[in-house]
Structure 1
Amino acid sequence: MSLTTPARGGRPVLDPARLAFLTAQEEQRFLADRPRSRALLERARAHMPGGVPMGWMTAMHGHAPIFAAEGDGAWFTDIDGHRYLDMNQADLSMNVGFGPPAVVAAVADRMRRGSQFMLPTEDAVWCAEALAERWDLPYWQFTLSASGANAEIIRLARHASGRDKILMFDGKYHGHIEDSLVIMADGKVKPELHGLTPDHAAHARMVPFNDLNAVERALKPRDVALCIVEPALTNVGVVLPDEGFHAGLRELTGHYGTFLALDETHTQIASPGGLKQLWQLEADAVGLGKTIGGGVPIGAYGLSEVLAQPLKTPPSMPGAPMESVGGVATGGTLYGNALSLAACRAALSQVLTPQGFARTAALGTQLADGLAGLFAAASLDWQVHRLTSRSGFTFADHLPRNAAEARALAQPALYRLLRLWMANREVWESVATAGPTVSFAMAEAEVAFYLERMRDFLADIL
């Protein structure tokens, strides 16, 4: 392979002509080997825009979507019969693996006995108690996604504080809700996507991750209701906090009267109580989703006594019509349903155990050490992320400290080649904004299989 050194960052990259050639070669093989997926996609376009039931399915992978048939443990199979080791796990919503027996049994039993009542079940009590112990927050509520959980945390913080501004960090992802779908562009906070009004952006502030001086400037007007943060950024690869960052953030939010929420949607895979427990972090609220449902849609959020008070004693809304449920704007018809809570209980008690987390963390170390060894053997200076069971790498000799650095170090075209190459050789690689993750269904053999494929990939391109 010819290595060139571009001006940006002085980082060696694959020669553009060879990169284009290899990508075209892999894409041609990818499409040719999946005729049933291609045919079904064409059929689907008649009644689903883009041929998919949700737009992300065409946007996230950098190639045409495939149609899944079934999954088993750490692997899934498409309708053309290709089997894949799943390193993406549906953006961690399937981190427990496909078809964990305890969850399958609990869901089947709950379906037979009724899946939804708009009434609490004993499983809800059990799950709330378990989450309270793990995340050290006394009160819990349930939604259908982490997006819903974060939306309700924001509303409760606004009510309790009497303020309207929200502080977030560049590179975040806190769900598909208006309040968090904002970005920094040209020095201003703007809507992230079409279809959003500027109004929500006007109530948001954004600062770089790991920049406590910027945090203090944003909080000084004392109009910020909530600061919401991922303990480590996970939507631009992995960006770890500087030593003392979270302690400083807690101190500043407390000083300026701002509530602090941890979005552990992705980082909950680090320990039974996420990074909050592992790093002994303090917060007024925690948002969860994905993994704790064992593959069934769920969201959950934990609250301090102060933030839970409006739910314990709902405030009245003078002039509200009789059909209004009153109180702070929370809830939904399917929120806290019996099926989701049965799955959550089974996942927490049988899969997401302390022993399970210790095992996936050890496998994550095996993965990270293996990647580092492969890069060194290939004379590449790429650096490896380490976040217990989640790994990944940066195409540079240093790890980023914030989202801007992560974007500058990214090589999307090279990562697209990697995904296609891996898919053609039985690995469903993580999306470019994430990083390969060990699931609870994996063992040493799966990690070794992935590392073998990465070794072969490097040999092929080099």
Structure 2
Amino acid sequence: MISSASRSPMRSAVERLSRSFDECRSASTPHFAYCPTTMQSDHVNQGEVAGVDRSRLERMRRREDATFRQRTAASERLGRRARLVMPSGVPMAWMAGLYRHDPMFVVAGEGCHFVDADGHTYLDMNQADLSASCGFSPQPVVDAIVAQAKRGLQFLLPVEAAIDVAELLAARYGLSHWQFTLSASTANVEALRLARLATARTKVLMFAGHYHGHWDEALVDGTERETHAELLGLTPSAAAETVIAPFNDLETVARLLANHDVAAVLTEPALTNVGVVQPDPDFHQGLRELCTRQGTLLIIDETHTQMAAWGGLTRAWSLQPDLLTLGKSVGGGVPLGAYGMTPQLAEFMDRHRDDDAGEAGLATGGTTYANPLSLVAARAALGEVMTVDAYSHTQRLGGKLADGIDAAAKRHRLSWRAHRLGGRSGYCLEAELPRTAEDAARSLDVELIDTRRVYLANRGIWEAIASAGPAVSFAHDDGDVATYLETLDQFLGELTAGP
């Protein structure tokens, strides 16, 4: 057991955070050689936060950055070696854009803790952006992987575990038929392709503040009137095929769907890429009715929100999607994406499958999709880790976490609110919770978030994703929540101390 020392990508809110700093690599972080294309200034809180002394915050930031560099010398050495063979010194360039400092290298993890290359243990309060919500090495998943590895890793033929996982997902989410990929990104890609074929339309409607993966149409931002690509290297047509509406704005959705060129609306039940934005009470019912009326399919992305309740918010809120997409924790930490569909769409997909008969079919699949290793891991995670009782545990701890954040803010005379979504919480820096991404962006105070993150890291707590806020996993316990809240209280106490 790893002991404690002191105890999606998101993308639009996370990768853009660093741009608001005056320098991508400041003098206090001399090894920062990568300048990420990150959060646009019009998406970030650039103003003052009541109760926060900016000069004190800056002094704390510089001090904590210096301490962090001293604590992570081994990671720094590995980073220098890595830059000789990998762009930005990381196996996935996106990793380098998440922080002002070089990323840490990890050597081991168990439960909700991991150890870095310098031997420091961290309590992870983001669980690898919820992809490790089952814990870093959940025993049922580990046992299933070991057993399958001895039987064979890949066949390009179905295994019984695929049926088991599809049955488990159907029972949870109420959609009868399922397909498998390797990530939520590719699950969304295939779900949209199916929607385009079924509707004979091309466009997709998403909500401002969304994140649905790293595929071209999903990396588009903007307004009802104008859309633009968020990152470089995308096809210019991506923005033309994506329309954007404000979350909770059914009037705008109705106007956009009336053009009868939108194949699908793709949304999370609650936005999770800008903190948490909850839907209005009538939003999802109205959205379902609009989609049905205009012949548009509704795709619900539960990649993050599946952790809020057993069966996700689709079951908890009685949502009725035509398609539902999943990724991250559904594989218990092993890469897996999945999408479910109604019987009607399943029959349509069956009639339009790609085969060797000479007639083109729906573009789906990948050689390593639905591989045995991912499927047995998902079967173990769904059946033995992500249980009804386990969700009750995380919901209780999530409430305790949010209550503690609210209490800490009040104790230090800050008019902040805690987000609440199952085991997940976070920080709204205003007295009213957000209804739209624009509202939520006012709480994305770059320097405050980053200073808190490094302060916590220096005391053995890791918050990886700046826009996400803390969350509890199936591996956390009451002591972990208490540790986080105690350290948060220390941070806020120093931040709001008198002159």
Instruction: Say whether the fold is shared (TM-score over 0.5).
Output: yes
TM range (shorter): over 0.9
The question of 1:37 aligning with 2:94 is answered no
The question of 1:461 aligning with 2:495 is answered yes
- Alpha-carbon deviation of 1:125? 0.4
Over aligned residue pairs, what C-alpha RMSD do you find? 1.7
- Alpha-carbon deviation of 1:314? 2.2
Q: Does the Cα contact within 8 Å between 1:430 and 1:436 map onto a contact in 2? A: no
Correspondence 1:73-222 to 2 at 5 A: 73-184=111-222, 187-222=225-260
> Residue in 2 aligned with 1:286?
324
Please state whether the residue corresponding to 2:471 is helix, strand or coil. Answer: coil
Tell me the TM-score normalised to structure 2 length.
0.88
- Alpha-carbon deviation of 1:345? 0.2
> Residue in 2 aligned with 1:418?
452
Segment of structure 1 superposing worse, 359-368 or 186-195: 186-195
- Alpha-carbon deviation of 1:198? 1.6
- Alpha-carbon deviation of 1:13? 5.0
- Alpha-carbon deviation of 1:315? 5.7
> Residue in 2 aligned with 1:388?
422
Q: Does the Cα contact within 8 Å between 2:401 and 2:481 map onto a contact in 1? A: yes
- Alpha-carbon deviation of 1:323? 9.8
- Alpha-carbon deviation of 1:258? 0.4
Tell me the TM-score normalised to structure 1 length.
0.95
- Alpha-carbon deviation of 1:306? 2.5
- Alpha-carbon deviation of 1:325? 8.6
Show CA shifts across 1:322-371 (max 9, x none). Answer: 69794200110011010000000000011000010011101101111111
Please state whether the residue corresponding to 1:409 is helix, strand or coil. Answer: coil
Q: Does the Cα contact within 8 Å between 1:239 and 1:402 map onto a contact in 2? A: yes
The 1:86/1:323 distance shift into structure 2, 3 A limit, reads: farther
Please state whether the residue corresponding to 1:369 is helix, strand or coil. Answer: helix
The 1:368/1:316 distance shift into structure 2, 3 A limit, reads: closer
The question of 1:366 aligning with 2:400 is answered yes
Of 384, 392, 397, the residue aligned with 2:431 is 397
Unmatched 5+ residue regions in structure 2? Answer: 1-44
| Percent of aligned pairs with the same amino acid | 48
CA distance in 1 between counterparts of 2:236 and 2:73 reads 44
The question of 1:254 aligning with 2:292 is answered yes
CA distance in 1 between counterparts of 2:67 and 2:348 reads 57
> Residue in 1 aligned with 2:84?
46
Please state whether the residue corresponding to 2:187 is helix, strand or coil. Answer: helix
Q: Does the Cα contact within 8 Å between 2:224 and 2:243 map onto a contact in 1? A: no
Please state whether the residue corresponding to 1:419 is helix, strand or coil. Answer: helix
CA distance in 2 between counterparts of 1:331 and 1:316 reads 10
Unmatched 5+ residue regions in structure 1? Answer: 1-6
> Residue in 2 aligned with 1:233?
271
Question: Which amino acid is the alignment partner of residue 329 of structure 2?
Answer: T
- Alpha-carbon deviation of 1:88? 1.1
Segment of structure 1 superposing worse, 272-281 or 322-331: 322-331
Corresponding residue pairs, total: 452
Question: Which amino acid is the alignment partner of residue 492 of structure 2?
Answer: L
Question: Which amino acid is the alignment partner of residue 439 of structure 1?
Answer: S
- Alpha-carbon deviation of 1:181? 1.2
CA distance in 2 between counterparts of 1:22 and 1:124 reads 51
- Alpha-carbon deviation of 1:186? 9.9
Question: Which amino acid is the alignment partner of residue 481 of structure 2?
Answer: V
The 1:339/1:189 distance shift into structure 2, 3 A limit, reads: same
The question of 1:301 aligning with 2:335 is answered no
Q: Does the Cα contact within 8 Å between 2:257 and 2:294 map onto a contact in 1? A: yes
- Alpha-carbon deviation of 1:316? 7.2
Question: Which amino acid is the alignment partner of residue 146 of structure 1?
Answer: A
CA distance in 1 between counterparts of 2:448 and 2:46 reads 15
Q: Does the Cα contact within 8 Å between 2:444 and 2:467 map onto a contact in 1? A: no
CA distance in 1 between counterparts of 2:321 and 2:140 reads 32
CA distance in 2 between counterparts of 1:353 and 1:17 reads 47
Question: Which amino acid is the alignment partner of residue 309 of structure 2?
Answer: S
Of 332, 341, 358, the residue aligned with 2:375 is 341
CA distance in 1 between counterparts of 2:448 and 2:398 reads 23
Please state whether the residue corresponding to 2:217 is helix, strand or coil. Answer: coil
- Alpha-carbon deviation of 1:165? 1.1
CA distance in 2 between counterparts of 1:366 and 1:258 reads 40
Once superposed, which parts of structure 1, at least 4 consecutive aligned residues long, lie more than 4 Å away? 7-10, 322-325
